[in-house]
Chain A
């Protein structure tokens, strides 16, 4: 909690904040990082195998093979999420399974499955992008600003 907010609290609450921060379980940062590295690296390794597969058997180029690879990985994620394995991987690896595109897929698919009970239109359709929404929204907005600046610089700046 920031100091600004802390000043406005009664003294008991401040004491409690100190007490709480002392008791907070320290996160094993190094161990978590190693786990994230191994799992994240492994997912990218599988992605590379799929990419190589598409290049050799379906004659994609190295640039275009990224798209079918993403789709294939998200398909695998659907199966893993549906059978409940992805949650367990996620608990073990933290960011290792959240940062690759499979984590994006998992966020969409798990929300879709979870909200099924509220109906297909308002439940699945309305809540599917709840978790993945921020990523799409700010990804698109940032890309818009950057591409706009770059285009203006290229067209009028003579870059």
Chain B
């Protein structure tokens, strides 16, 4: 059942992105930035975590989860170290996405040649 919800919720988040592309005529960079910020805001109100429990990868795979895990890492550290933790804990949870993108970016540049 979680597979169905992952498909549905993930698809719906992409539809929101597509509506921002087509109806509001935003560039992809604007759209993704707005989605990340809204993921962060949703987690600020504690609404993103229930969505992950409900939809699994449908909520963790879209870019909105990036904002969610940034806030999450910051809050985890903040509970232990106070205000300083907000800065130091920021990348605690998100590190995988950014480091994987950078590592595989360099590997990709080593392996593949640009086309065209």
Contacts and interface: CB of A to CB of B under 8 A. Distances in A.
Interface residues on B, range: 35 or more
B109 A116 contact: yes
B32 A103 contact: yes
B60 A66 contact: yes
A120 interface: yes
Given A36-B14, A95-B17, A109 B61 contact: no
A39 B69 CA distance: 24
Given A67-B93, A73-B61, A99-B17, A147 B74 contact: yes
Contacts of A105: 100-101, 104
Contacts of B70: 139-140, 142-143
Interface of B is mostly: helix
A109 to B, nearest CB: 5
Contacts of B56: 48, 51, 62
Interface residues on A, range: 35 or more
A135 interface: yes
Contacts of B6: 41, 44-45, 47-48
A100 B101 contact: no
A144 interface: yes
A40 B10 contact: yes
Contact of A113 (B31, B78, B85, B114): B114
Interface of A: 27, 29, 32-33, 35-45, 47-52, 62, 66-71, 73-75, 77-78, 81-84, 93-96, 98-105, 108-109, 111-117, 120, 124, 128-129, 131-132, 134-136, 138-140, 142-144, 146-152, 155
